[in-house]
Amino acid sequence: MSGNLIIVTAPSGAGKSSLIASALRADPLLRLSISYTTRAPRPGEQNGREYNFVDDATFVAMLERAEFLESALVHGFRYGTSQKAIDEELGREHDLLLEIDWQGAQQVRTLYPAAVGVFILPPSIAELERRMRTRGQDSDETIRRRMAAARDEISHAPEFDYAIINKDFEEAQRDLLAIIRAARLGTARQLARHPELFTLGN
């Protein structure tokens, strides 16, 4: 038996990273998959915590060695998920959160069809832009590009099993934790953990 793989996707500014961080603090059984990226760390980010930050040559070399479960080019930067790291965590029966975009989600679900897909939606496009500007990390041009990308990303939300509208952060956090808990209570998972309980009626 292995752990659950839970894919969490959202447009930039929808609050995905904050919700994931909150879920990790609230649930000690959760682990976070640390992706690789060629973008520079943002203020407060640390290598090996939010991402494994590498240069383009290192990323391409890993790609050529087929080390990535999925990879994508997003806003001009490369992102990828280590196949080995995913398999090791799931093999330890850890429930693993995978924070990737919709393209990566499609790639992962072809290999892990049992993965649970969660899409985080903003309450409105206007609120999404306000949040981006409030962060104060991006130029106007970057925000315009991210807003255009957000509209395309949101069009893929119906491909996911669950959709959380992040209007109220605490409610959205409860929703994400509820999805994670429900995944643990699936019959196949419970049967693998407690086979003796399923024979009580025999």
Residue 132 has pLDDT above 60, yes or no: yes
Output the CA angle 102-164-184, nearest 5 degrees. Answer: 85
- From residue 106, alpha-carbon distances to 60, 98, 100 in Å are 21, 12, 10
pLDDT range class, residue 79, cuts 50, 70, 90: very high
pLDDT of residue 201: 67
Report yes or no: 128 and 120 within 8 Å, Cβ to Cβ: no
- Using DSSP's 3-state secondary structure scheme, residue 84 falls into helix
Report yes or no: 35 and 89 within 8 Å, Cβ to Cβ: no
Cβ atoms within 10 Å, residue 177 = 16
Cβ atoms within 10 Å, residue 118 = 24
Q: If you average pLDDT over residues 96-117, what whole number do you get?
A: 91
Output the CA angle 118-121-123, nearest 5 degrees. Answer: 150
Which positions ≥6 away from 108 have C-beta within 8 Å? 5, 7, 69, 70, 81, 98, 100, 115
At 72, phi and psi to the nearest 5? -155, 155
* pLDDT tens digits for range 4-63: 999 999 998 898 989 999 999 999 989 999 999 999 998 889 999 889 999 999 999 999
**Whole-angstrom distance, CA of residue 40 vs CA of residue 38:** 7
Which domains are present in the chain? 5-199 (3.40.50.300)
